[in-house]
A and B are shown apart, each in its own frame.
Chain A
Amino acid sequence: DVKVTQSSRYLVKRTGEKVFLECVQDMDHENMFWYRQDPGLGLRLIYFSYDVKMKEKGDIPEGYSVSREKKERFSLILESASTNQTSMYLCASSSESSGNTIYFGEGSWLTVV
């Protein structure tokens, strides 16, 4: 089974703090993604990566950055957290060899106060 692990499930951070969300997958998938999900807005893509050290902006990259130094790990960084970044963040991975199906982690609930 594919395992996508998000290390932090619930976080509360203060406005202006730098926040790191970590994600690790164990299936040697080349593609990794960060989405956020908000009521009424659905799932929106923040960034994705198709290879180590490669990254592409998604639909809502503003206020976020990412890092992929190793194939299995994809980090989302909020440089200066703001209250409108309160959300559920979902990491995911996929591979052509597995039919490009995207597999999600359990999600990280971030509250910025």
Chain B
Amino acid sequence: QKEVEQNSGPLSVPEGAIASLNCTYSDRGSQSFFWYRQYSGKSPELIMSIYSNGDKEDGRFTAQLNKASQYVSLLIRDSQPSDSATYLCAVKPGYALNFGKGTSLLVTP
């Protein structure tokens, strides 16, 4: 079983702060990495994908990948209450994605 590990949280940050979400994975052969957001009772929706070492920015979101350390993170700048959700890290070693169990984020006004 290829492991994807995330801290379950909840991670609580005040509105306007930076939220930092972390993920480690075990399969060194993984080449594609994804962050999904899931609101309660809804299906996961893609936030970002990252394939190369370094940072990738998209609006308030920045994904960071370090393949040597088998580590991927997501930073959310200027956090809003609407960002409160569970964030799923996913790693693609083959056809399918392996998901972490998710980190619950709570942004307090």
Chain A interface (Cβ within 8 Å of chain B)?
A: 31, 33, 35, 40-43, 45, 48, 50, 56, 58-59, 90, 99-107
Contacts and interface: CB of A to CB of B under 8 A. Distances in A.
Given A99-B49, A101-B34, A103-B46, A58 B96 contact: yes
B67 interface: no
Contacts of B90: 102
Contacts of A102: 34, 46, 90, 96-97
B104 to A, nearest CB: 12
12 contacts: A35-B99, A42-B99, A42-B102, A43-B99, A50-B95, A90-B44, A100-B32, A100-B92, A102-B46, A102-B90, A102-B97, A103-B46
B45 interface: yes
B101 interface: yes
Given A101-B46, A105-B43, 18 more contacts: A33-B96, A41-B101, A42-B100, A43-B99, A45-B97, A45-B98, A48-B95, A48-B96, A58-B96, A59-B1, A90-B44, A99-B49, A100-B32, A101-B49, A102-B90, A103-B46, A104-B44, A104-B45
A83 B102 CA distance: 25
Contacts of B1: 59
B5 to A, nearest CB: 11
B95 A43 contact: no
B88 A43 contact: yes
Contacts of A40: 101
Contacts of B44: 43, 90, 104
Contacts of B95: 31, 48, 50, 56
Interface string B74-109: 000000000000001010100111111110000000
